Amino acid sequence: MSFSVGVDVGGTNIKIGLVDEEGNIICRRRLHNNPSEPPAQTLEILAQAVLKLTRSKPVAALGIGIAGLVDHKDGFVRTSPNLPTWNKVPVKDILSRLTRLNVFCCNDANAVALGEWLYGAAKGCRNALCITLGTGIGSGIITDNHLLLGANSYAGELGHTTLSLRGPACPCGNSGCLERYVGAQAIVFRCRRLLRQQQRRVAASRNQLSLFGPSGERLSLIFELVGYNLNRLSPREIGSAARKKDKIALQVIKETGALLGLGIYNALMLLDPEIVVLGGGVSRFGKPLLQAVEQTVFARLYGSNRQLKIVLSFLGDDAGILGASQLHRLASNFTP
């Protein structure tokens, strides 16, 4: 039996897996990714981890998905908004030299789409839109059983479609991008603002208690989860609070789902997939996020007898690893 290695390089983490011929991850590694470090240094550490993982195993290929604009054919990262030092990086050449393996590269969201299509929620579908929700927002598109790349290998940049002409600035150079509303940083910013507003309300009601009586409002559970230090807030605490029915956490997730739903609706009007798969760390918000997305999308969607499902990822963090691990056998099927 031969094996392949799949690598998923994101804005904050690098996930590595050794995958067998049936799509099972035999063993795995997780590395922290510092986006300010030189990419050559990061790739050297990555190569060392791969070599340790593949010691004494017959490995057919190494596939790697990277956040950013990637030349799939030549294995070249042209630019990455969430990896600011990764400009014009010959990833394929560097990793081939360091590991002596056949290396194949793609955008990280495309790797996730391939994973879900081959092994996960989109298995058996001919047309699928798979969205990764995390530090950035990416998407991979399967159309007529092919990964859609576009003329420049840039197809699927859903996170950098425009939601508002007067929106916040984005690292890509534009403003009002979807990512600036539903990415992890934007979610934390919105939640922190609501929490501070609540702090002021509760403090004011306590100061006026003798005049007006108790207001009945209690501080959000999120305060306790972050040790009353809002600088420690992350989507993890928001999700934990939401599962305990915390009102502010649920409000933030509902608003996020509504904004994401607008972006997805625009994509649906262009692509007409039969399934939309929501993956990435932010998708762990789960059912409240999914319901808010569905409510926004289906309230706007038109077309009788439309075949469409919106679902959460079946594979979670494994989708990118599994998709990248199969690049060597799917490269000829890429639609340029």
Tens-place pLDDT, residues 120-146: 999 999 999 999 998 889 999 999 999
For the cut 80, the answer to whether the pLDDT of residue 315 exceeds it is: yes
Q: Give the model's pLDDT for residue 333.
A: 58
pLDDT of res. 292: 98
Burial 161-194 (b: 16+ CB within 10 A, else e): bebeeebeebbbeeebbbbbbbbbebbbebbbeb
Does the pTM of the predicted model rise above 0.75? yes
Amino acid 334: pLDDT = 53
Domains 3-108+318-333 and 121-313 share a fold: yes
Strands 309-312, 275-279: pairing is parallel
CB 231 within 8 A of CB 188: no
CATH fold of the domain at 3-108+318-333: Nucleotidyltransferase; domain 5 (3.30.420)
Per-residue pLDDT tens over the stretch 202-247: 888 776 544 444 556 789 999 999 999 999 999 999 999 999 999 9
Q: In CATH, which of 3.90.245.10, 3.60.20.10, 3.30.420.40, 3.30.540.10 is domain 121-313?
A: 3.30.420.40
Taking 80 as the threshold, does the pLDDT of residue 263 lie above it?
A: yes
**Domain-by-domain residue ranges, the chain?**
3-108+318-333, 121-313
Per-residue confidence band for 27, with pLDDT thresholds at 50, 70 and 90: very high
pLDDT of 156-185, one tens digit each? Answer: 999 999 999 999 999 888 999 999 999 999
300's CB contacts (< 8 A; 6+ apart) are 265
E strand spans, the chain: 3-9, 13-19, 25-32, 59-66, 69-71, 76-79, 103-107, 128-133, 137-143, 146-147, 275-279, 309-312
Rg (C-alpha) for the chain, rounded Å, is 21
